[in-house]
Structures are given as structure tokens and as C-alpha cells.
């Protein structure tokens, strides 16, 4: 009898339930974004304006030893874990593992053997940030050819091959590239 006096009470309660569910969903989504994804989107894997290490860190050369993608992608950035061998000018080389976000189309540059510039905190060697885009390592054939040409030059300088043998072998090595 009381329900007949308020025929819209059922749909109103249902609508209020839907609104509460949507508000909770939005709140949880914003919380997850702020906690997990915001810092990833703000980091590009290269120098960022707000990063103190980019302003006050010491620059060094580094070589990528390992690269693993975490599978986490936000917009156009992918999170990766890099194992770097850092070569400071004034101390012994050291290894460091960093997690950073890089532009998805640049992941092919972050491969083992690639060289790049980094900034590091001399008081905390685990605090390292990427300061340049990596330069990929030479292709295997190019590296072998360079080594072979150096070896051939050495043999010529030592008088172990003639000028004619030198020219023929040099042309052969260069054709293989």
C-alpha cells in the first residue's frame, strides 16, 4: 500500500545506486592514475625540466647491458628496466639498474651495447638518469670489418703482406659491408 503512494521510489533508488557506483569508479581511477601512472607519463626517459639530477648530477658515458620492458604502457611511453655500465671520468665504472619511461617508438634504440650519456649523483651511485638518446652499437659485420682492416693495416706495416695483397684484401673486406 505504501509503494502505491510512491511509485517512483524503486527507479530513484536504482539511479542513486548507479550514481554512487560511478562516483566510486571515478575516485578509484583517479587514485590509481595519481599513484602509478602520473610519474610514468611525466618521465620521457630523457632530461626533464624538474629533475634535480639533470641540473646538478655529474655527466658520464654509459653502455646498456640489458633492457627489459615491464609491459606497462601509458599513452606513448613504455616503462623499461635498464642495466647500465656507467663510466665516470674520475672514478671506476659501476653498474646500476634503473627503471624509466621511454617513448614507445624509441625502444629499439635502448638495446644492449648502445651508448648514451647519463647524469649520476656522486654520493648515491644508484641515482642515475638518462641524459641523451642512445647511439646503437655498430652492426656485427661493421665491427668485424673494422677489426679486420686494422689487422690488415698492421700486417702491411710489418711487411707481412705485399701492397698488392693489401689492396685486394682491403677491397674484399669493404665489399662485404
Q: Residue 27's pLDDT is what?
A: 86
C-alpha span between 93 and 62 (Å, rounded) = 9
Pull the grid cell for residue 168: 685486394
Pull the grid cell for residue 57: 648530477
Q: Residue 98's pLDDT is what?
A: 93
Cα 5 to Cα 1, 2, 8, 9, 64, distances in angstroms: 7, 5, 9, 9, 74
Which CATH fold would you assign to the domain 52-130?
A: OB fold (Dihydrolipoamide Acetyltransferase, E2P) (2.40.50)
To which H or E segment does residue 144 belong?
helix 140-157
> Which candidate, 89, 68, 66, 69, places its Cα nearest to that of 78?
69
Boundaries of every domain in the chain:
2-40, 52-130, 140-175
Global pTM exceeds 0.75: no
C-alpha span between 52 and 44 (Å, rounded) = 15
* Residue appearing with cell numbers 635502448: 110
The answer to whether the beta carbons of residues 45 and 103 sit under 8 Å apart is yes
Alpha carbon 57 to its chain centroid, in Å, reads: 19
Q: Residue 141's pLDDT is what?
A: 56
Per-residue pLDDT of the chain (177 residues; tens, 9 = 90+): 455 666 677 778 888 889 999 999 998 888 776 665 555 544 444 434 335 788 889 999 999 999 998 888 888 888 899 999 999 999 999 999 999 888 888 888 888 889 999 999 999 999 999 988 888 776 655 557 788 888 888 888 988 888 888 888 888 878 776
Quote the crossing angle between the two packed helices 140-157 and 163-175, to the nearest 10°: 180
Amino acid at each position: 500500500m505504501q509503494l502505491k503512494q510512491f511509485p517512483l521510489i524503486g527507479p530513484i533508488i536504482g539511479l542513486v545506486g548507479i550514481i554512487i557506483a560511478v562516483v566510486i569508479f571515478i575516485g578509484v581511477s583517479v587514485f590509481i592514475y595519481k599513484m602509478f601512472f602520473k610519474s610514468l607519463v611525466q618521465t620521457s626517459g630523457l632530461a626533464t625540466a624538474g629533475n634535480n639530477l639533470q641540473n646538478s648530477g655529474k655527466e658520464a658515458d654509459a653502455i646498456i647491458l640489458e633492457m627489459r620492458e615491464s609491459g606497462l604502457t601509458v599513452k606513448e611511453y613504455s616503462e623499461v628496466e635498464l642495466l647500465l655500465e656507467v663510466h665516470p671520468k674520475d672514478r671506476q665504472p659501476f653498474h646500476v639498474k634503473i627503471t624509466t619511461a621511454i617513448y614507445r617508438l624509441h625502444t629499439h634504440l635502448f638495446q644492449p651495447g648502445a651508448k648514451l650519456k647519463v647524469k649520476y649523483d656522486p654520493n648515491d651511485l644508484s641515482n642515475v638518469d638518462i641524459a641523451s638518446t642512445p647511439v646503437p652499437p655498430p652492426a656485427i659485420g661493421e665491427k668485424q670489418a673494422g677489426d679486420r682492416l686494422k689487422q690488415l693495416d698492421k700486417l702491411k706495416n710489418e711487411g707481412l703482406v705485399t701492397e698488392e695483397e693489401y689492396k685486394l684484401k682491403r677491397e674484399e673486406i669493404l665489399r662485404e659491408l
